[in-house]
Amino acid sequence: MIELDAVSAAFALLSSDLSAWLYLLPGLVIGLVFGAMPGISITMAMAFALPATLYMDFLPAIIFLTAIYTGAGFGGSVPAVLMNIPGTSSAVATTFDGYPMARAGRHNEALGVALASSVLGCLGSYLMLFLLIGPVSGLVLKLGPLEMFAVAIWGMLLLGSLAGTYLARGLLAGAFGVLLGTVGFNSAGFIRGTMGIPWLLDGVPQIPAMMGLLAASQLIGLVNTTYLITDESARKISFGKTLSGIRLTFRFPWVIMRGSIIGVLIGAIPGVGSSISNLLSYSETRRNSDDPDSFGKGNPAGVIAAEAANSSSEGGAMGTMLALGIPGGGATAILLAAFAMHNIVGGPSFIANNKDIVYALIFSNFAQAVLLLFVGLGFVYVASYIVRVPLHYLIPSVLVVSNFGAYAIEGSAAGPITLWVFAILGWAMLRYGYPVAAAVVGLLLGGLLESNLLRTYQISGGDYVDYAVQRPGALIIFALMLGSIALQAVSKRRRASKLSAGKPE
């Protein structure tokens, strides 16, 4: 499984090339700053830095980009905790408990928890990658469209457990999101729902829509609030409390471990990645908790579950990218572009011929994760000051920056207009108890669901049952899905009976 010769060659490579280490710190800082800025995604941060790597050697270039990846992964949790604005879809679940913690004046603790979980998740994922890169690459190669469809449906159904008070409203939000996610060209060449607007041919712009649903809608709802944290004494910045948040993380080893495993496995599946893993990990942690009702109200375990999973997804996505040459998302697509810039083709032949480089990348990511703890601690301390800013400064500023980001992503007014439309929709949904996260995930997965269902239909010739029988992997995923739903129902009933038993006469 582990080739010791390649491992020692990797150590030699890293110790002989100092320039590989020189780019670690700038990469992390760039990633943290960009990740924490609303409207700038991990992909954008890496895309901005990509031209700079042209003049670097291959290994330092990739290490620099992965450092940005790691830094931005945690950076995204800073606005998620402080402003309920996930920098990327992978930080959606971080907002569920991170933001309520901030609203309760526990922002330092929440950031400390998020940092430690990110570091541990990242370390765990690269450790797993180190041990399992061979077997994982074989497994991912066997995933067909039916399996991909099953995984995406599983992710969608899990939102039922995150739907809050009204189950029907949660399901409608998810279904509406999926439908919006299928607007434009489908993979069979049909154009639907564009209303004659050219920029809708490629579908609803996802990032501006996500920014509108999750970020701008919340800011509109905050217009009548003076400060992010109403209690003035709770707005104090405390280095000690951030450290206590880090210590608190170690009291949840199983949450970290589960999150890391989910993150690696889901992150390894192309196209799904951290946007699902953080929700899946959050949902599983809530389901297994003794006090599931405390989730969504500021339970640190929710932040740990989400952050451990989204940071460990990086290791999974890197595994797929290195082993198969398939990018799991935008960030790994940029890494593959960096490979190409250096005339290197990722995939099975790369991993077979350059195991020393693969192990060197894994080791440098161990170093990145450890360094992130210290750099992130300083960054958190600075970033926490944002809660001291009165909201009449923060709301207009963040809305404008989000509009700039939406424009930069789309390169036209389509971005800001999409952001505006979805901000109204998100604001209205929040007012009447519709879970916005369900619509966001539906929107992200709509295209994936349709194209995989379509491929399954084409391959099976319409005979799904016969085809499914030949795909034991898909059947296992469906069985796991049904099992997890059944477990959820049982735990809900158990909780309800506990509650009724505990009620005073």
Partner 1 sequence: MSSKPRRKVVWGHLVLLSVIVVTVIAYLLDARGVSTLPTNLLLIQPLSIFALILAAFILPGVFPRKDAAKEPVAGETRLELMRCLALIAALGLLAFTLERIGFDVATFLFMVATMAICGERRWWVNIGFSALFTILLIYGYGTITPFPFPLTVL
Positions touching partner 1 (CB under 8 A) are 48, 166, 168-169, 171-172, 175-176, 178-179, 182-183, 186, 188, 190-193, 216, 219-221, 223-224, 226, 391-393, 395-397, 399-401, 403-404, 407-408, 411-413, 416-417, 419-420, 423-425, 427-434, 449-450, 453-454, 457-458, 462
Q: Are 394 and 228 in contact (CB under 8 A)?
A: yes
Provide the b/e sequence for 162-181 (b: ≥16 CB within 10 Å): bbeeeeebbbbbbebbbebb
Least spacing, CB of residue 431 vs partner 1, in Å: 5
Q: Helices (DSSP H) in 250-390: which residue ranges?
A: 253-267, 274-288, 300-324, 330-341, 348-353, 355-383
Nearest to 402 by CA among 99, 36, 37: 37
In angstroms, what is the minimal distance from the CB of 417 to partner 1?
5
**Between 320 and 403, CB nearer to partner 1:** 403
Nearer to partner 1, 90 or 452 (CB): 452
In the complex, minimum distance from the CB of residue 422 to partner 1, in angstroms, rounded to a whole number: 11
For the CB of residue 428, give the shortest distance to partner 1 in the complex, in Å.
4
Q: Which is nearer to partner 1, 433 or 472 (CB)?
A: 433
- B/e letters for 90-126, b = 16+ CB within 10 Å, e = fewer, are bbbbbbbbbbbbbbebbbbbbbbbbbbbbbbbbbbbb
Helix/strand/coil for 3: coil
At its nearest, how many Å lie between partner 1 and the CB of residue 157? 13
On whether the CB atoms of residues 489 and 160 are closer than 8 A, the answer is no
> Which two three-digit tokens encode residue 110?
């929440």
Residue placing its CB nearer to partner 1 in the complex, 179 or 373: 179
Q: Which is nearer to partner 1, 158 or 256 (CB)?
A: 158
Q: Is the dihedral of CA 280, 282, 285, 291 positive or negative?
A: negative
- Which residue number, 2 or 408, has a Cβ lying nearer to partner 1? 408
Residue type, position 37, single letter: M
Distance, CA of 442 to CA of 432 (rounded, Å):
19
For the bound state, the minimum distance from the C-beta of residue 178 to partner 1, rounded and expressed in Å, comes to: 6
The residue among 104 and 454 lying less far from partner 1, judged by its C-beta, is 454
- The dihedral built from the CA positions of residue 304, 305, 306 and 310, taken in this order, carries a sign that is positive
- Considering beta carbons, is residue 176 or 295 the nearer one to partner 1? 176
Closer CB to partner 1, 114 or 438, in the complex? 438
Give, in order, the Cα–Cα distances in Å from 311 to each of 130, 307, 446: 16, 6, 24
* Minimum distance, C-beta of residue 411 to partner 1, in the bound complex (Å): 6
Q: Which tokens in the block code for residue 232?
A: 């003035």
CB of 330 to partner 1, least distance (A): 16
Question: For residues 421 and 433, what is the distance between their CA atoms, to the nearest angstrom?
Answer: 19
Shortest CB 338 distance to partner 1, Å: 17
Cα→Cα distances 438→164, 172, 296, Å: 10, 9, 14
